[in-house]
């Protein structure tokens, strides 16, 4: 299996509730790299790179998020990017 990258845009109550840090924790537990960034429109962008099954598990988690969040939508797109070496918060 080769590594691939998926970008997810998470909509709902996802800023100011620990969503980025919790996303990073989930990604790191799965051995993934990428980033989690707040967007100006209130969404969080999450880039997940690694083994497909691990990325899929984190995407399923994104629909739930941490306890204080309320996710209403997750939009995903496979992307071709230079693989990051770490998971960054932005």
Q: Would the pLDDT of 82 be above 90?
A: no
- pLDDT tens track for 29-42: 999 999 999 999 99
Please state, in angstroms and rounded to a whole number, the distance separating the CA atoms of residues 49 and 58.
11
Can you list the domains of the chain with their CATH numbers? Answer: 4-83 (3.30.70.100)
- Which tokens is 76 given? 């995903």
Closest residue by Cα to residue 16 from 73, 65, 87, 55: 65
Closest residue by Cα to residue 19 from 69, 82, 71: 69
pLDDT, the chain, mean: 94
20 is catalytic: yes
Which of 13, 20, 43, 70 is the catalytic position? Answer: 20
38 is catalytic: yes
- pLDDT tens track for 45-56: 999 999 999 999
**Strand ranges of the sheet holding 4-13, from the earlier edge strand across to the other edge:** 70-79, 4-13, 44-50, 33-38, 87-89
pLDDT score for 89: 85
Which of 38, 43, 52, 57 is the catalytic position? Answer: 38
């Amino acid at each position: 299996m080769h590594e691939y990258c998926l970008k997810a845009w998470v909509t709902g109550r996802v800023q100011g509730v620990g969503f980025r840090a919790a996303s990073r924790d989930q990604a790191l537990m799965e051995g993934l790299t990428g980033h989690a960034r707040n967007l100006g429109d209130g969404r969080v962008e999450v880039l997940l790179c690694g083994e497909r099954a691990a990325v899929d598990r984190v995407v399923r988690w994104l629909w739930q998020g941490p306890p204080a969040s309320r996710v209403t939508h997750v939009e995903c797109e496979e992307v071709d990017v230079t693989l990051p070496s770490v998971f960054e918060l932005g």
